[in-house]
Structures are given as C-alpha cells and as structure tokens.
C-alpha cells in the first residue's frame, strides 16, 4: 500500500481515464447509451447524455493534464454541478409542468456545496493509528458493550479466552504470563509476559518479559459509558518488532491495517459478551483457521468474511 | 438443496448448493415452505447493491418449519411453523434492547465493510450482500436462521402461508412507514403502489388516516390498491402529483408523505429522469431519489416524510433547504420487524387485513429467474410473487 498521496494520484489518474471512458460514448453515441441505460432515445435524452458526456471529458482532461498531482476531483465536480443546474433549468423549461420549475431550481440552487462535502468526506483517509517511530508501533481502538464494566473486565481477565476474539493469538495461559501468536513466516512467536496492572472493573495491562523476540505491551481500560449505555472498552497495543526477517513477519502480525484488525477483535469481544459467541455467516464458517488468518495478513480488508 | 443464486447483473440461476448447517448455538434450520421476491431484491438483480458475489443465495422473505435447532434456542421446537424477520438481530445489544432491531450491533460479521461506507454498520440481512453479513437467503429449500430465539414468530393458528408470509418484511415495513408518520385525521400521500405502498395505504387507514392517496404510473397497481384499501390514486404519467395533491388538500399538502419507491425511481419529467439515470449508470450517485425529492416538495409545512424505499449511498440534488425551511420531520430506516410481528399477526388473526391481496403470481422456486423478470418488468400485471420449493 502506497502512501495516501501516491494512491491519491493513482486514483486521480484512474478517475481521469474513467471520465474519458464514460464521457466519450455519451458524446459520440448518446442515443445508443440512452437506450443502453433504458431511456427512450429522444432528442431530449440525447441532449442530456451528451451534456453529461462533455462534462466527463472536460473533467477527465482536467485531471489527466495535471499529471502526478491531479486537480482535486471536487473542483471538477463543482464545475459539473454548474452544468447540472443548467441542465435542470433547461429540462424543466421544456416540461409541461412549469410550476415545478421554481421548486426544482430551488432544490439545486446552492447545493453544489453538498458535492464538495461528500467528496471531501469520501476522500478522507482512515484515521492513522499506526504511529511508526522507527520500529515500534501502537494501535488504539475502542468498543462500547452493553454490559457493566465488571463483566467486560471479567471476560478479558479470562486470558485463556483472548484467542477467541483476538485472531492473531494462538493461545494465552490462564494467568496471562505466556502468549503464543500466529506468525506469517515463522510458525509462531511466543513470549512470557507479566501483568503490570490489574484493577478489577477498571484496567488490565501487561508487558512482555525482557528477552522477548517481539517486545510488546498492552492495556485495556473499562469505563462506564454516559447514561445507560454500558461500558466503553479501550485497548492499546504496542509492538517493537526487531529488524530483519522476523521483524517484518511480526510487523505483519496485525495485518496491514492493524487498527482494523484490533477493531474487528473488539467487535468479536462484544459479540461474545452480548450474544455468547462470535457471530458467523455462511461467508464466515472458516472461523480462525490459519489460512483465514494468513489471508487477512495479506491485506484483505474487513473481517473474516472478506476471505473466500 | 436447491436455491436461487445471484450470478451477476440481471443473471440468476437455481442451483444445487450445500445444505445450511448450524454454525452458532442460537441457530435454527428452517425448511422453507413459502418465500417471496421483494422489490429490494430487484436492486440486487439490477446490480445496484455492492459486495454481491457470484453464487450468493438470495431472498429475505421466507417462512417454514423448524427442522434443526442449536442448543442455545430455548423457545422453539422441531416442527414449529415460523415466519422469519428479514433483519438478523441478537436481542441483547443496546439497540436491540430498545427494539431497534434493524440496527443490531452484533449480527453483521462483515461490519467492517459496512462501516467504511456508512460509518457504522446496520444489522445483517439474509441474502443481501456481503456488506450486510454474507448470510445465505431464503429463496431456497432450507435456510439457516441465526438468533432463532429472537427473530422468528411461531404461527399456531391455521392461517395459510400466504396470509402470514409478508410478516417477514413488506407488511411490517409498510406499517412502520405509516406508524412513523401518520396521526389520526391525516391526509396521507404514498409514493409507489408496489407491495410496500399497498400495505402502507392499508396501514395508514388502520392508524386513523382520513384520506390516503397513492401515486404510481401503473394503472393496474393503482386499481389494486384502490380496490383493496379504499385509497384515492394519482397516475403521475397523467397529472403532476404536486398539482393534484394541492388540489385535493385545498393547498395544504398532505400531512404525511410515505415514500415506498427506492433507488430506482422514475420521474414524469424526462430530463430529470435522464439526469438521474445517467448519473446512476455512471456510478456518480447510487440513488435515483426523485420520489423522495417530490415527497419533500409535496409535504405540507411542518409535516412528516417517511422514507421506506431502499437506498444504498449517495443522492445528488437532494432538497435539503426545502426540508429544513418547511420544518419537515423525516423518518426512515429498515424496519424493526421483530417489534411489529406480534401486533401485526394479531391484526391478521382479527381479520383487520388479509395480506394476500398484494399477490399476483404464485410460482415454483425453480422458476425464480423467470419470476424476477416478470416482477422487474411489470409483466402480466405483476405486483408480488410468492415462490414455493
């Protein structure tokens, strides 16, 4: 995965070509396109299709002309919205029901701003929680459960059950002092750990013992949610993968989207607490099989069901 | 078992697929006795809902007999006859505890995908894309029902399948649409005379509406809803709904507007329809929101618009200012079916409504692909298809 900037440029370019692909037939053969999308092939629909096509070509050219730093898509969209207004004005003028004209015009007037918002929102990247300083990274995620803090704490304190919802773990000893994690290259990584803090109903934190292959630490906090909304559970995990091959393998321990992985883990924690077990659909019968875990490490998005 | 599977845009086939299995302790397996095609299934058929995969089993309106039970289901027995609500809900999360079943926080194993599109995930739905759980649907001989201790309602009377099948979706969905908007004495306008619009008209009357007006472009549908619910009708191909509604209400506009059309709406104005259609085909918007636009413009000031059509993402040219300045209340959502099962079964048992009036076609599961074509293209005056395995 490239940086947001690089992938942004790539996306922009792709959008530029997509605009051409969409725009060219609309301009060249508007009648056929209109029929293809199920419209009557009338002069009106041809005109509409051609107008939208011209806009696509203009937007595409604009984006591609900018080379590696494409003009932000929103601005070509804004130009497009100007055309939409013109289009609606014209379309409505020819309509039988002129009284609708005023209302529909009011509907589009000034609404170009909505496109800006939508585009800006869509292009916002996932909040980067993986803060890489050299080799160490920290992942934070949270979930709200509809249970008292004491019960949420008790499930987490049952260390041997952690692998039920944390899919990168193979096993944890009941006292939380020995952890085994699945590792993509090496078969498994294991380490001893000590419980640093244990405050029933409030906090659990642990830290790997000196000499671990992958020094790591973690904590989970339980706080009453406002009103009658259960408990806010917040997890923080820090890993310090060593340099070299093992380090690379372990860096991938939580997949290429560590925050997503931990968020999914917390979702499973919530399911166990609230419904008794991890919920599975036909698309997720594989459970925690190694292949699934590995597939996820390869960067597959989303939860278990995104495999297959 | 045999099941109706999605094979791509406008492509279905009835295939032999593996029988469903119990995967969770609170699962049941139901031998399907009747299932229906929903208007929202047509959005899948037409390829407008993302994250469908080749081979996915469709269908979220179904009922049948319990043939297998997980150890966690205490309230059902083998042999029970049940109707299954389309949203899958755990019954124990914050939202379920407040009867907001269609936004259950636990039922979607693929919540991460939905969160990317919506911010937060709604409940899973049978046979309705991987974003909404990847659960196999009920247009099949058998179906797995998760959280079977929460969803299915037992039918103990001798009502026929056709009388109770629509409790799975369309009747409660329409009823909720009316319930969120209608107060006694209201004039209610309903966009769309499909199954939801028809049940919405019946529901609005049950809830005390004085006058119900249904808008569509197909006379055969308008005739059916008028005949069975006593609603007035507007064919928007002939008259402009805004004009007609203002005339019928002496300028006030309807008190409650129920939108029962969804993301493939048509417009009487060819330019607006072409605009929405081209933008949707080019994936520049996911919706064709003309029915919602019109409902907002038509609604009286201070009135309520209830959006029951299915939508997928972003709409262009949404009349936000009209909605705001007219002081409208907007209600919407996938139906919290579980909330309505008992009261609506009660109304059916009491004879207040006979839900079979929406059915036009009865076909075999094996004919599902043909049935979708008939329903989609409104051939043979189709209003609703019931399939039996």
pLDDT digits (tens, 9 = 90+) for A134-174: 567 889 999 999 999 999 999 999 999 999 999 889 999 99
**A110-124, A214-228, B354-368: range with lowest mean pLDDT:** A110-124
Question: Looking at per-residue confidence, does A59 or A278 come out higher?
Answer: A278
Angle, CA B44 vertex, CA B43 and CA B49 arms, to 5°: 85
- pLDDT class for B57, splitting at 50, 70, 90? very high
Cβ contacts of B277 on chain A, cutoff 8 Å: 37-39
**Do B272 and A284 lie within an 8 Å CB cutoff?**
no
Cα B215 from Cα B234, distance rounded (Å): 5
Helix (H) or strand (E) holding B2: strand B2-8
**Do A283 and B272 lie within an 8 Å CB cutoff?**
no
From A19, which residue of chain B is nearest by alpha-carbon distance? B282
Q: In angstroms, how far is CA B240 from the centroid of its own chain? A: 26
Share the mean pLDDT of chain A.
70
Q: Indicate whether B4 pLDDT > 90.
A: yes
Question: Looking at per-residue confidence, does B193 or A85 come out higher?
Answer: B193
Contact between residue A172 and residue A266 where contact means Cβ atoms under 8 Å apart:
no
Cβ contacts of A306 on chain B, cutoff 8 Å: 110, 112-113, 130
Q: Indicate whether B375 pLDDT > 70.
A: yes
Q: Indicate whether A219 pLDDT > 70.
A: yes
Cβ contacts of A34 on chain B, cutoff 8 Å: 274, 278
Q: Indicate whether A297 pLDDT > 80.
A: no
**Do B316 and A84 lie within an 8 Å CB cutoff?**
yes
**Do A48 and B26 lie within an 8 Å CB cutoff?**
no
When CB atoms are compared, the residue of B110, B278, B282 closest to A48 is B278
Question: Looking at per-residue confidence, does A24 or A73 come out higher?
Answer: A24
Q: Indicate whether A106 pLDDT > 50.
A: no
- For residue A183, give how far its alpha carbon lies from the nearest alpha carbon of chain B (Å): 23
Which pLDDT belongs to residue A284?
64
Here the ipTM equals 0.90
**A78-87, B106-115, B168-177: range with lowest mean pLDDT:** A78-87
From B113, which residue of chain A is nearest by alpha-carbon distance? A302
Classify each residue of A259-286 as buried b or exposed e, where b means 16 or more C-beta atoms within 10 Å of its C-beta. bbbbbbbbbbbbbbbbbeebbbbbbbeb
Backbone angles phi, psi at B331, to 5 degrees: -120, 150
Interface test with B, best of A142, A275, A288, A289 (most B CBs within 10 A): A275
First vs last C-alpha separation in chain B: 10
Which pLDDT belongs to residue A231?
97
- For residue B88, give how far its alpha carbon lies from the nearest alpha carbon of chain A (Å): 11
- pLDDT class for A83, splitting at 50, 70, 90? low
- For residue B135, give how far its alpha carbon lies from the nearest alpha carbon of chain A (Å): 5
**In chain B, residues 14-33 whose CB comes closer than 8 Å to chain A:** 20-21, 23-26
Which value, in Å, is the radius of gyration of the alpha carbons in chain A?
27
**Do A118 and B272 lie within an 8 Å CB cutoff?**
no
- pLDDT class for B269, splitting at 50, 70, 90? confident
Question: Looking at per-residue confidence, does A60 or B136 come out higher?
Answer: B136
Which pLDDT belongs to residue B333?
96
Averaged pLDDT for residues A31-45: 69
Instruction: Provide the whole-model pTM.
Output: 0.79
């Amino acid at each position: 995965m490239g940086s947001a900037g690089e992938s942004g440029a790539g996306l922009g370019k792709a959008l530029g070509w997509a605009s051409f692909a969409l725009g060219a037939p609309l301009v060249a053969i508007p009648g056929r396109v209109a029929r293809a999308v199920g419209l009557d092939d009338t002069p009106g629909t041809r005109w509409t299709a051609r107008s939208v096509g011209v806009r696509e070509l203009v937007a595409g050219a604009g984006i591609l002309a900018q080379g590696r730093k494409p003009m932000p898509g929103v601005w070509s969209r804004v130009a497009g919205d100007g055309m939409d207004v013109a289009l609606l004005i014209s379309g409505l003028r020819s309509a039988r029901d002129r009284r609708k004209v005023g209302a529909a015009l009011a509907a589009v007037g000034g609404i170009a701003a909505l496109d800006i918002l939508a585009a800006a929102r869509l292009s916002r990247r996932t909040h980067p929680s993986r803060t890489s300083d050299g080799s160490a990274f920290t992942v934070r995620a949270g979930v709200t459960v509809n249970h008292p803090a004491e019960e949420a704490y008790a499930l987490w304190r049952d260390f041997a059950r952690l692998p039920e919802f944390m899919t990168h773990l193979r096993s944890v000893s009941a006292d939380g002092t020995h952890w085994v994690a699945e590792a993509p290259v090496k078969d498994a990584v294991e380490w001893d750990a000590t419980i640093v803090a244990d405050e029933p109903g409030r906090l659990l934190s642990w830290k790997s013992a000196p000499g671990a292959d992958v020094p790591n630490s973690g904590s989970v906090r339980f706080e009453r949610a406002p009103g009658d909304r259960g408990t806010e559970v917040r997890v923080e995990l820090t890993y310090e993968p060593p340099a070299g091959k093992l380090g690379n393998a372990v860096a991938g321990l939580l997949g290429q989207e560590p925050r997503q992985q931990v968020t999914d883990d917390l979702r499973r924690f919530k399911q166990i607490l609230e419904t008794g077990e991890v919920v599975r659909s036909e698309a997720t019968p594989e459970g925690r099989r190694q292949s699934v875990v590995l597939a996820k490490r390869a960067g597959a998005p989303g939860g278990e069901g995104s495999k297959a | 078992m045999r099941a109706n599977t999605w094979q791509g845009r406008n492509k279905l086939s009835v295939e032999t697929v593996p029988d469903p299995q119990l995967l969770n302790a609170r699962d049941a397996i139901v031998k399907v006795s009747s299932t229906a095609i929903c208007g929202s299934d047509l959005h899948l058929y037409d390829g407008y809902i993302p994250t469908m995969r080749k081979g996915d089993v469709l269908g979220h309106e179904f009922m049948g007999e319990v043939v297998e039970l997980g150890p966690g289901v205490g309230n059902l027995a083998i042999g029970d006859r049940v109707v299954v609500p389309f949203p899958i809900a755990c019954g124990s999360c914050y939202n379920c505890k407040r009867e907001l079943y269609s936004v259950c926080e636990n039922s979607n194993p693929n919540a991460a995908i939905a969160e990317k599109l919506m911010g937060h995930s709604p409940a899973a739905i049978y046979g309705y894309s991987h974003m909404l759980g990847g659960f196999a649907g009920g247009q099949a001989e058998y179906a797995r029902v998760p959280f079977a201790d929460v969803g299915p309602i037992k039918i103990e009377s001798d009502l026929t399948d056709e009388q109770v099948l629509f409790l799975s979706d369309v009747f409660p969905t329409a009823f909720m649409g009316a319930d969120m908007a209608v107060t006694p004495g209201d004039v209610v306008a309903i966009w769309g005379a499909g199954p939801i619009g028809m049940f919405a008209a019946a529901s609005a009357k049950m809830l005390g509406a004085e006058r119900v007006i249904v808008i569509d472009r197909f006379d055969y549908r308008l005739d059916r809803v008028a005949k069975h619910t006593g609603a007035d009708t507007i064919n928007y191909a002939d008259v402009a709904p805004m004009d007609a509604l203002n005339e019928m209400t002496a300028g006030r506009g309807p008190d409650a507007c129920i939108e029962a059309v969804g993301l493939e709406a048509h417009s009487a104005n060819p330019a607006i329809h072409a605009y929405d259609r081209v933008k949707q085909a080019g994936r520049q918007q996911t919706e064709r929101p003309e029915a919602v636009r019109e409902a907002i413009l038509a609604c009286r000031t201070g009135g309520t618009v209830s959006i029951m059509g299915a939508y997928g993402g972003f709409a262009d040219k949404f009349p936000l200012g009209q909605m705001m300045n007219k002081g409208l209340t907007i209600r919407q959502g996938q139906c919290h079916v579980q909330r309505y099962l008992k009261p609506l079964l009660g109304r059916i048992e009491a004879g207040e409504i006979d839900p079979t009036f929406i059915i036009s076609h009865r076909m075999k599961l094996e004919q599902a692909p043909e049935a979708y074509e008939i329903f989609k293209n409104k051939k043979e005056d189709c209003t609703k298809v019931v399939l039996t395995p």
